[in-house]
Structure 1
Amino acid sequence: MKESIEELPDGRVRVVREVCGMPVSIIFSAQEDNKTLEKIKAMIMDAYAERKARGGKTSNLAQP
């Protein structure tokens, strides 16, 4: 699983991780601490991978 973390010019942090072959980006505000960043990142990425494994549905917005 590929992952990159970069600090944006305005101080925010962008995390990009490849999940099920697709890049997923998360942008955090500049005030987040590293411990919180790691917990949130793991929760979001795990949830995305679980939904993707269940049939590719990645958003509730497309539901009727």
Structure 2
Amino acid sequence: MQDYIQQLTDGRTRVMREVEGIPVTIYFSEKDDEDILEKVKSMIMDAYAERKLREGKQSNFSPQ
């Protein structure tokens, strides 16, 4: 699966990407909300750091 970005008729943006063989879809709202974007970024980075820790590798990400 390739990256796929689609602008929906209601103003949202849909981003689809395959991550480790699993299709992932993220919907972004019509208007950017910095608070929500920061929370999503934090969740993604926390999951990445957790996976690296599980695999016994050092992550470049350090929580704030």
Q: Which has the larger radius of gyration?
A: 2
Q: TM-score, normalised by structure 1?
A: 0.49
TM-score normalized with structure 2 length: 0.49
Q: Which structure has the higher relative contact order (CA within 8 Å, separation 6+)?
A: 1
